[in-house]
Chain A
Amino acid sequence: MSTKTRLPSFSLHDMQGGNYDFPNGKTSLLCFVKEDCPTCQLSLPLIEIIQKTFSSVVEVLLIGQDHAGNISMIETHQLATSLLNDDALKVSFEYDLDTVPTIFLTDSVGNALMQFIGFGKQDWIDLIQKLSDITGIPVPAIQWDSYPESHPGCGSRSVEPGIAERLEAESSGSPLRARQIDIATHDDVHEFLFDQGLTDGLPVIPPTPERVLRMIKGSHRDAQEIVADIPPNLAPATVEKIAINAVMAGCKPDYLPVVITAVEAMCTDEFNIHGVSATTMGGTPAVIINGPIREKIEMNSGLGALGAGHRANATIGRAIRLVLRNIGGAKTGGTERSTLASPSKYTLAFAEREERSPWEPYHVQHGFDQTESVVTLFAVTGGPSLVVDQNSRTPEQITGSIAMVMESIPHPRARGDQDILLVLCPEHLDTITKHGWSKQNFLDEIQKATLKPLRNLLADEHSGVGASLAEFGKKGPDEKDLERLVPKFASTSNIHLVVAGSDAGKFTSVFQGWATGPRGSMVVSRKIEG
């Protein structure tokens, strides 16, 4: 705060209940102090001398930051100066204090004429000289030898962790706009949140204003920026609303840019989250993270990448599910109508272990720069199904095993209209790449290995799933039709391959997609923008 600026007005009570207004038409000295600050204690005798010398012309106001400390200061120093109680720290916050003591000399209407922080002998000598100049009262005699040249101040209580966020949340400049809910003293906040249907069935972190404010600061975006309209209610999701749900999910503020980007990607027409949520097949987004942010937020891409135990993985996936549920109104039994659903509907987020692979990472394969951080959303309806192969030693063998499992998803005869997410473990990757196969080589081999003649893909008395003879008209398929080789996937671009998992173990995982293309859900990747 520079000099000659108009200081905020305030009204405070002293410790006896008397009311003081600032400014009050007099030259004023404001001294912000707290009892457990040695530098404030050092300064108090000087403030008392100023009070005794200049009080006929100058209003000297001590402003103390905690109730018990204020009483102690009055008793210890037998203060004649009025000590105003800023226990609530509203005035300290409004003055943007970092340090106590902070001293302001003001004119009669509240313009700052001089200010300093901490203890500086010369500052006090200058202040007293200035007061003398203003009032015409001689400078009092002070034993300056007993004072140090300088002494640093202490942190203002208004910037202590936890308090600063509360003050900001309660201030008139707060970025928060969401409706506040008061939980009664005798109510249990966790039970309240369950009763209101605001959780996924597991406890959530209560989204207090302080926590939400900290969360919002994890992103550079404005708190009221609308990120997307969330189906089925098509309700606008502001950064603040997403932050509330991210708090509930257990996210750290650093994760918020990832959650926001995932929400954006989820609400594109291409991803079609409404269909993914509503389908009786039971769909949910798998969140895959690439790029440098993986390390910054400690996403797990290694041992147990698809499982429990890592905060970023667990809470980022959960946050977007809570956004869908709470902001969008997608609730189980409402528009969420999965026949069985899967545990992935609680959370599913992991990172690619890019450094372990000789191949380009998923985001680079899809046109992003290696240095960019990217969120990819894949609509999962089943899995992970394990490819258990501890015996294959050649690229052809392991590719064959993976192809066999992939072919069985969602049904050995199902062809064409689907994406699949393949999470390749490092040991299988090593076997595939030991003779230099590229990622595309491998995907081409999967396509070849899953080619089947139409003859083997017809619906029959063993299963109603498969190509129907009716598709070939009254005449039915001829021999040439029956020998035609049909690929499992429309193209290799339907196979979404990422590398993850620990160095030990020959277990690759496969996730089943939903219907793909414009009538279903397409995989969406978005750059994370902070």
Chain B
Amino acid sequence: MTMKILDPTDERKPIKRELTSRPEHISGVVGLLDISKPRGNVLLNRLEQLFDERLPGVEIRRYTKPTFTKPAPEDLRRKISEECGFVIEALAD
């Protein structure tokens, strides 16, 4: 006799997400997202400097999450996706 149990999960089968294919060249707008962790700005400042040196045609825009402890607000995510072709999110400490 089989035993029956009830599913303790949310019953949503996880969908495997594929990474977006990586382009050959970087162009247009690159967003740098500071998640508000200490010293995240140090890393992003350095990255911005390197972009300026190596890819002067690329426009850099800076964004900041209100707090690293919570997901980025919906408005901020929409703004980044509308304005940028690329985004780099900095984790630091």
Give the interface of A toward B (CB within 8 A): 176, 178-185, 189, 193, 198, 206-209, 212, 230, 233, 235-236, 240-241, 244-245, 248, 272, 274-275, 278-279, 322, 326-329, 515, 518-520
Chain B's closest residue to A329 (CB) is B10
Q: Do residues B6 and A180 form an inter-chain contact, with CB atoms below 8 A?
A: yes
Q: How far is the CB of B81 from chain A (nearest CB, A)?
A: 20
B9 within 8 A of A: yes
Partner of B4, one of A193, A208, A245: A208
Q: Do residues A179 and B6 form an inter-chain contact, with CB atoms below 8 A?
A: yes
Chain B's closest residue to A276 (CB) is B69
Q: Do residues A184 and B2 form an inter-chain contact, with CB atoms below 8 A?
A: yes
Chain A's closest residue to B4 (CB) is A180
Q: Chain B contact residues (Cβ within 8 angstroms of A): what range?
A: 10 to 19
Which A residues touch B5, using CB under 8 A?
Answer: 180-181, 183, 189, 193, 206-208
Which B residues touch A193, using CB under 8 A?
Answer: 5
Q: How far is the CB of A51 from chain B (nearest CB, A)?
A: 36
Q: Do residues B69 and A272 form an inter-chain contact, with CB atoms below 8 A?
A: yes
Give the interface of B toward A (CB within 8 A): 1-12, 66-67, 69-71
Which A residues touch B2, using CB under 8 A?
Answer: 182-185
Q: Would A176 and B10 be within 8 Å (CB), given that A185-B1, A275-B70, A279-B69 are in contact?
A: no
Q: Do residues B9 and A327 form an inter-chain contact, with CB atoms below 8 A?
A: yes
Q: Do residues A244 and B10 form an inter-chain contact, with CB atoms below 8 A?
A: no
Q: Would A520 and B69 be within 8 Å (CB), given that A235-B10, A235-B12, A329-B10 are in contact?
A: yes
Q: Do residues B6 and A515 form an inter-chain contact, with CB atoms below 8 A?
A: no
Q: Do residues A178 and B10 form an inter-chain contact, with CB atoms below 8 A?
A: no
Q: Give bound CA distance, A436 to B45, whole Å.
A: 58
Which B residues touch A275, using CB under 8 A?
Answer: 69-70
Q: Do residues A274 and B70 form an inter-chain contact, with CB atoms below 8 A?
A: yes
Told that A181-B6, A182-B3, A206-B3 touch, could you supply 4 new A-B pairs with CB distance under 8 A? A181-B4, A244-B6, A278-B69, A329-B10
Q: Name 9 interchain pairs, CB-CB below 8 A, sorted by A.
A: A181-B7, A182-B2, A184-B2, A193-B5, A206-B3, A207-B8, A244-B6, A275-B70, A322-B8
Q: How far is the CB of B10 from chain A (nearest CB, A)?
A: 3
Q: Give bound CA distance, A176 to B6, whole Å.
A: 9
Chain B's closest residue to A322 (CB) is B8
Partner of B67, one of A180, A207, A519: A519
Which B residues touch A236, using CB under 8 A?
Answer: 10
Q: Do residues A189 and B3 form an inter-chain contact, with CB atoms below 8 A?
A: yes
Most chain-B CB neighbours within 10 Å: which of A181, A209, A274, A278? A181
Partner of A212, one of B3, B6, B10, B66: B6
Q: Do residues A519 and B69 form an inter-chain contact, with CB atoms below 8 A?
A: yes
Q: Do residues B8 and A209 form an inter-chain contact, with CB atoms below 8 A?
A: no
Which B residues touch A233, using CB under 8 A?
Answer: 10, 12
Q: Give bound CA distance, A322 to B4, whole Å.
A: 20
